[in-house]
């Protein structure tokens, strides 16, 4: 029973820390506010995470792992690769739909000068996971001719979508995101 309570507590900490980091970045994470959000004592967080860097790395790792699973589900549930590419921007739109948050790893990447290496490693992995998935799906959709071309286009797509999310958040207007995505399709960056 004790392990279930510990697991539940750790889970609640990770969920709350993710929401805080999506709204305020790594610099906005502090154990006192996090503990208050979870309903525990700040010292209890140290039972699960030795320090802020350990917590930040765990949050970013879980975020990219969940994102990777979402992308694979998207691909599996789509009738073809082109349809998966068309739906890819939805994965970033969901954060905006949730109280105007943005991608946790995009937010943390903007703080890269101040991130501990363990956190930055997980943030880079998020980018790598997205670029590899996009590259693979671009090739499967015959949207590119070579692996090198697909990786370059995948990086451009990832950067454009993350940028669209950031601009929409700064305006607190999800329609800005939608309009940018449609413009990316019209310009040919994203397959229509």
pLDDT at 4 > cutoff 70: no
Mapped onto helix, strand or coil, the DSSP state of residue 101 is coil
Asked whether residue 28 is domain-assigned, the answer is no
CB 92 within 8 A of CB 107: no
Asked whether residue 192 is domain-assigned, the answer is no
> For the ranges 69-83, 93-107, 117-131, 145-159, which has the lowest average pLDDT?
93-107
Mapped onto helix, strand or coil, the DSSP state of residue 93 is helix
The predicted-structure confidence for 91-107, as pLDDT tens digits, reads as follows 999 999 998 888 888 89
161: domain CATH number? 1.10.357.10
Total domains present in the chain: 1
Q: List the domain range (segments joined by +) for residue 140.
A: 57-187
Asked whether residue 64 is domain-assigned, the answer is yes
Asked whether residue 80 is domain-assigned, the answer is yes
What residues contact residue 15 under an 8 Å CB cut-off, 6+ apart?
Answer: none
Neighbours of 171 (CB within 10 A): 12
CB 185 within 8 A of CB 192: yes
Asked whether residue 157 is domain-assigned, the answer is yes
Question: Which pair of tokens denotes residue 104?
Answer: 């946790």
Nearest to 17 by CA among 107, 93, 92: 107
In the chain, % helix, strand, coil (3-state, to 5) comes to 80, 0, 20
User: Tokens 């860097």 map to which residue?
Assistant: 53
∠ CA 111-114-116, nearest 5°, is 110
The predicted-structure confidence for 134-190, as pLDDT tens digits, reads as follows 999 999 999 988 999 999 999 999 999 999 999 999 999 999 999 999 999 999 999
Q: In whole angstroms, give the CA distance from residue 74 to residue 79.
A: 10
Q: In whole angstroms, give the CA distance from residue 190 to residue 192.
A: 6
Could you tell me the pTM of the whole model? Answer: 0.90
């Amino acid at each position: 029973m004790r392990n279930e309570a510990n697991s539940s507590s750790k889970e609640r900490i990770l969920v709350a820390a993710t929401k805080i980091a999506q709204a305020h970045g790594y610099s906005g994470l502090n154990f006192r506010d996090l503990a208050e959000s979870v309903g525990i004592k700040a010292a209890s967080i140290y039972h699960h995470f030795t320090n802020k860097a350990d917590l930040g790395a765990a949050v970013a790792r879980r975020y990219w792992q969940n994102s990777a699973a979402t992308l694979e589900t998207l691909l599996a549930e789509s009738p073809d690769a082109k349809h998966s590419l068309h739906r890819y921007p939805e994965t970033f739109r969901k954060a905006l739909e949730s109280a105007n948050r943005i991608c946790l790893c995009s937010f943390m990447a903007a703080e890269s000068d101040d991130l501990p290496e363990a956190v930055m490693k997980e943030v880079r992995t998020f980018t790598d996971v997205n670029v590899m998935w996009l590259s693979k799906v671009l090739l499967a959709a015959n949207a590119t001719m070579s692996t090198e071309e697909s990786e370059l286009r995948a990086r451009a797509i990832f950067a454009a979508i993350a940028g669209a999310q950031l601009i929409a958040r700064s305006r607190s207007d999800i329609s800005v995101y939608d309009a940018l995505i449609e413009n990316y399709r019209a310009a040919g960056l994203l397959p229509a």
